[in-house]
């Protein structure tokens, strides 16, 4: 199943399930509230009216309960291009490099991202597969890790590169408003099958910049969940962005940063396309 959040006529964000050309509204306050129910409760939760999909303005499918969790350098070729661009020797870590993005950075699919030139001249894109956690959990073994996944979506880890470098910790350069577009919907884990075998692509104004496969991750999705949940509780609706493949703007020769009017597309096989226009003022 495919799950969305949309803005209703009264301006409220409502959760729903896509049924063909329509969306059936779920009787929960938010999609995260629905995700937090047990599978049995979810199956018996009643639904409301259907609305034509084409009439809807989508919101980010999930507003995570806290910071978006992210992994740096999780594709070998991206780790290599990053080291090359920084003039550093490539040193791969033994454990994932976790960082987070502020939840206020989350943006909707099809939304125009409002970025400010005075804050940074170096906005960059990163296509990523995002995991949505389905239950409160802790100390999850790799064997059981996929059982706690509700579904998957696309995320663009938009980054102000100069700030990412300047502050040493990546939090600030990764957390500017509108720098975490998510969507367009969450696809249930059952419908995805093997999430470690998905084509992942990024296009800028229709030109392909990233092309890889989630099979190229250094740390697998089960490993990431096991590492993160070791001694640390994960919550329903938590979003884990699993890293970006090679081809990002800063590592290109010459570097390519986002410009006013650019259209970004993150595409992941079996999920869909997350599209956002950039406005830089």
Between 59 and 244, whose beta carbon lies closer to Mg ion?
244
Between 157 and 178, whose beta carbon lies closer to Mg ion?
157
- Select from 157, 178, 246, 267 the one that contacts Mg ion (CB under 5 A): 157
Which secondary structure element, helix H or strand E, spans residue 25, and what is its range? strand 22-26
Phi, psi of 22 (to 5 degrees): -120, 165
Between 28 and 155, whose beta carbon lies closer to Mg ion?
155
- CA neighbor of 84 nearest in space, from 70, 73, 95, 93: 73
Task: List, in order, residues 6 or more apart from 114 with CB less than 8 Å away.
Answer: 177, 178, 279, 281
Interacting span for Mg ion (CB under 5 A) from 61-69, 91-99, 122-130, 262-270: 122-130
x/- map, 241-260, Mg ion, by CB under 5 A: ---x----------------
Between 30 and 244, whose beta carbon lies closer to Mg ion?
244
Interacting span for Mg ion (CB under 5 A) from 14-22, 126-134, 148-156, 202-210: 126-134
- Measured CA to CA, the distance from residue 233 to residue 229 in angstroms comes to 6
Other beta carbons within 10 Å of 167: 13
Interface with Mg ion (CB under 5 A), residue total 3
Decide if residue 126 touches Mg ion (CB under 5 A). yes
**Residue 276 CA to chain centroid, in angstroms?**
13
Report in angstroms how near the CB of residue 126 gets to Mg ion at its nearest. Answer: 4
Report in angstroms how near the CB of residue 116 gets to Mg ion at its nearest. Answer: 21
C-alpha dist (Å) from residue 181 to 33, 155, 184, 280:
20, 6, 9, 16
Decide if residue 212 touches Mg ion (CB under 5 A). no
Which chain residues interact with Mg ion by CB under 5 A? 126, 157, 244
């Amino acid at each position: 199943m495919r799950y969305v959040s949309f803005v209703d006529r009264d301006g409220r964000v409502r959760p729903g399930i896509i049924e063909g050309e329509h969306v059936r509204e779920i009787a929960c306050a938010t999609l995260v509230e629905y995700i937090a129910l047990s599978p049995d409760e979810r199956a018996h939760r009643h639904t409301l009216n259907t609305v034509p999909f084409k009439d809807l303005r989508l919101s980010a499918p999930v507003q995570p309960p806290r910071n978006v969790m992210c992994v740096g350098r999780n594709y070998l070729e991206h780790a290599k291009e990053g080291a090359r661009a920084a003039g550093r020797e490539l040193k791969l870590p033994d454990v994932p490099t976790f960082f987070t993005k502020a939840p206020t950075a989350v943006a909707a699919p099809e939304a125009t991202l409002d970025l400010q030139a005075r804050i940074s001249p170096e906005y960059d894109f990163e296509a990523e597969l995002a995991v949505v956690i389905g239950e409160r959990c802790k100390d999850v073994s790799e064997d059981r890790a996929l059982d706690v996944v509700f579904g998957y979506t696309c995320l663009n880890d938009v980054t102000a590169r100069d700030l990412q470098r300047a502050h040493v910790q990546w939090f600030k350069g990764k957390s500017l408003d509108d720098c975490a577009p998510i969507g367009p919907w969450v696809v249930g884990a059952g419908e995805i099958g093997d999430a470690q075998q998905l084509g992942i692509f990024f296009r800028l104004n229709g030109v392909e910049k990233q092309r890889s496969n989630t099979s190229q991750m250094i740390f697998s999705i089960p490993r990431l969940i096991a590492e993160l949940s070791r001694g640390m509780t994960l919550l329903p609706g938590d979003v884990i962005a699993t890293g970006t493949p090679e081809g990002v703007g800063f590592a290109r020769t010459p570097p390519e940063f986002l410009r006013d009017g650019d259209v970004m597309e993150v595409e992941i096989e079996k999920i869909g396309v997350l599209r956002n226009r950039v406005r830089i003022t």
